């Protein structure tokens, strides 16, 4: 993860997806209710209400409907991520700032992080000072895509609390995979359809080595997010040996030496990984088509 671009101040390293041009082009949400707070008032972080579901602390200025299944699901997300990836659970606290409206959220972000692009959510890791560890923070607002946005950003936070340096493509691929509700089993229907259409028409070519070379957030466009998701889905859901390659790779990333690209390791399982990926997408498409039939 780069993140030189993400250096907003000498002490701040914003990482994860959306900060600093991590160009994840999500749909613009529908208009949220208008915030009547006077413009001249300084934007502040939500702090009035808080509750904890370890390792997260949710902070807001409105009463969050805590009984919503979303919060149980986010607790399960923590277990799901660590269990499925065979990682030791992180203990670092993740502060989740939930703004009531998009307007308040944007006002705060513009004031605090003026160089950030407009996104619905951000994950930021901020060093506390020499040897002091990091503060892990997610910023977002209570909008229509809150479930998916929180699952995505919290996946970044959960990963980052146990692996300091997750390669950009893998960080996003895993966040895309786990942002989906558990019942979808990691299958993003839109990603399958759009990716296959691009490949079949010749407009897009999958290539793991190219994805692994991406270092700058602005090189990650929606197509790269889809492809990153597809590689993660292939590795976790096709051949047990491919899953082992990914899980071992994550263990290596926890060590001090970077393990290099994953592509050559995957070739030991799939001699032609790109062909295996396309076959996998085709079978997912067929599976989805069966589900769609009456």
**Nearer of residues 172 and 224 to Zn ion, judged by Cβ:** 172
Residue 105 · residue 99 · CB < 8 Å? yes
Q: Is 232 in the site for Zn ion (CB under 5 A)?
A: no
**Nearer of residues 175 and 242 to Zn ion, judged by Cβ:** 175
Containing 67, the helix (H) or strand (E) segment is none
Minimum distance from residue 96 beta carbon to Zn ion (Å): 15
Containing 59, the helix (H) or strand (E) segment is strand 56-60
Cα distance between residue 98 and residue 58, in whole Å: 7
Query: Which string of x and - marks every residue 133-172 that binds Zn ion (by CB under 5 A)?
Result: ---------------------------------------x
Which single residue brings its beta carbon nearest to Zn ion?
Answer: 17
**Nearer of residues 170 and 278 to Zn ion, judged by Cβ:** 170
**Nearer of residues 58 and 169 to Zn ion, judged by Cβ:** 169
* Residue in 6, 13, 17, 116 binding Zn ion, rule: CB under 5 A: 17
In three-state secondary structure terms, 66 is coil
* Residue in 175, 211, 234, 278 binding Zn ion, rule: CB under 5 A: 175
Minimum distance from residue 4 beta carbon to Zn ion (Å): 18
First to last CA, the chain: 44
Tell me which residue has tokens 């250096």.
7
Minimum distance from residue 245 beta carbon to Zn ion (Å): 22
Q: Is 15 in the site for Zn ion (CB under 5 A)?
A: no
Outline where 220-266 has alpha helix (H).
Answer: 222-237, 240-254, 263-266
Report angle CA 237, 27, 204 to the nearest 5 degrees. 55
Choose the stretch contacting Zn ion; rule: CB under 5 A; options: 16-24, 100-108, 131-139, 202-210. Answer: 16-24
CA distances from 22 to 171, 200, 236 (A): 11, 27, 25
Binding site for Zn ion (CB under 5 A): 17, 172, 175
């Amino acid at each position: 993860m780069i993140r030189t671009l993400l250096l907003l101040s000498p002490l701040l390293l914003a990482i994860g997806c959306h900060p600093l041009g991590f160009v994840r082009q999500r749909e613009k949400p529908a208009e949220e209710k208008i915030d009547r707070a006077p413009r001249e008032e300084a934007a502040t972080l939500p702090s009035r209400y808080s509750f904890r579901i370890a390792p997260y602390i949710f902070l807001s200025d409105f009463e969050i409907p805590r009984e919503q299944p979303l919060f149980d699901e986010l607790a399960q997300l923590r277990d799901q991520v660590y269990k499925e990836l065979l990682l030791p659970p992180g203990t670092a606290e993740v502060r989740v700032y939930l703004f009531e409206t998009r307007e308040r959220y944007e006002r705060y972000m513009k004031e605090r992080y003026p160089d950030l692009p407009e996104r619905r959510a951000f994950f930021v890791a901020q060093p506390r000072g020499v040897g002091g560890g990091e503060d892990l923070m997610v910023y977002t607002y209570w909008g229509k895509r809150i479930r998916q946005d929180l699952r995505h950003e919290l996946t970044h936070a959960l990963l980052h609390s146990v692996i300091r340096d997750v390669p950009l493509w893998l960080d996003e691929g895993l966040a895309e995979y786990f942002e989906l509700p558990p019942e979808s089993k990691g299958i993003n229907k839109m990603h399958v359809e759009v990716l296959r259409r691009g490949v079949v028409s010749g407009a897009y070519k999958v290539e793991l080595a190219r994805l692994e070379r991406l270092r700058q957030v602005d090189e990650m466009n929606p197509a790269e997010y889809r492809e990153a998701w597809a590689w993660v889905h292939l590795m976790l859901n096709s051949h047990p040996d491919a899953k082992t390659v990914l899980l071992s790779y994550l263990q290596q990333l926890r060590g001090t030496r970077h393990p290099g690209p994953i592509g050559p390791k995957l070739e030991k399982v799939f001699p032609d990984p790109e062909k295996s990926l396309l076959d996998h997408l085709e079978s997912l498409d067929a599976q989805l088509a069966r589900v769609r039939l009456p």
